[in-house]
Chain A
Amino acid sequence: ETGVTQTPRHLVMGMTNKKSLKCEQHLGHNAMYWYKQSAKKPLELMFVYNFKEQTENNSVPSRFSPECPNSSHLFLHLHTLQPEDSALYLCASSQGLAGGRETQYFGPGTRLLVL
């Protein structure tokens, strides 16, 4: 596998379910990101991890819980979501966080539908 992979690609869940999204990068990068892409809105940065440490939480509700066990893997744990949380969730990685210099590479996304 190359690049950034995400599983599952599609997910349907009820508001009382608990599910997890998985992201894996095969680029040897140290920084990983979660973004939310909703219809007719720009991509919204959710979380940033650098060397497994969370460096940014962009005021994300606690029903979204990230986990980064190592520099290659990033999870997003979901529980008691709302229908407005339905969106495409994109994972990205970059070599580091050196200001604006680092290019981010994206995974294919997980399309989430909350019923």
Chain B
Amino acid sequence: AQTVTQSQPEMSVQEAETVTLSCTYDTSENNYYLFWYKQPPSRQMILVIRQEAYKQQNATENRFSVNFQKAAKSFSLKISDSQLGDTAMYFCAFQAQKLVFGQGTRLTINP
């Protein structure tokens, strides 16, 4: 069975700083997809970024980028120039057949 582990339950940084959220996963699959979702206090689960495992190039979406290390089964999210609106729960998720979520990291951006 696939598992997703987010080892940082909570993180807090100052506005404009860069922050990296960690995620590791366990699978025997070779073809799969990885996602980071953001869930702000409004509870809407919003897709932040997606990575195909067969692509070596790390995905980037504006201030959000990932560091995908397939051999190490690691998929971290870097948020550059953090903003107050980035405050949310961040979930790492793995999908080969089903979408499997990690426990989440609560990120707070302080003014």
Interface residues of chain A, those whose CB is within 8 Å of chain B, are 40-43, 45, 56, 88, 90, 92, 99-101, 103-109, 111
CB distance B102 to A100 under 8 Å? no
Interface size on B, residues (CB 8 A): 24
Q: Knowing A42-B101, A42-B103, A43-B101, say if A100 contacts B44 (CB, 8 Å).
A: no
A58 to chain B, nearest CB (A): 9
Tell whether, in the assembled complex, residue B102 and residue A90 are in contact, meaning their CB atoms are under 8 Å apart. Answer: no
Q: When each residue 83-111 of chain B gets 1 if its CB lies under 8 Å from chain A and 0 otherwise, what string results?
A: 00000000100011111111110000000
Across the interface, do A100 and B33 meet the contact criterion of CB distance under 8 Å? yes
Interface residues of B in 9-53 (CB under 8 A from A): 31-33, 35, 37, 42-47, 50
Asked whether A103 and B103 contact (CB < 8 A) given A45-B98, A108-B43, the answer is: no
Cross-chain contact B32 with A100 (CB below 8 angstroms): yes
Q: Which residue of A lies closest to B94 (CB)?
A: A100
Partner of B47, one of A42, A43, A88, A103: A103
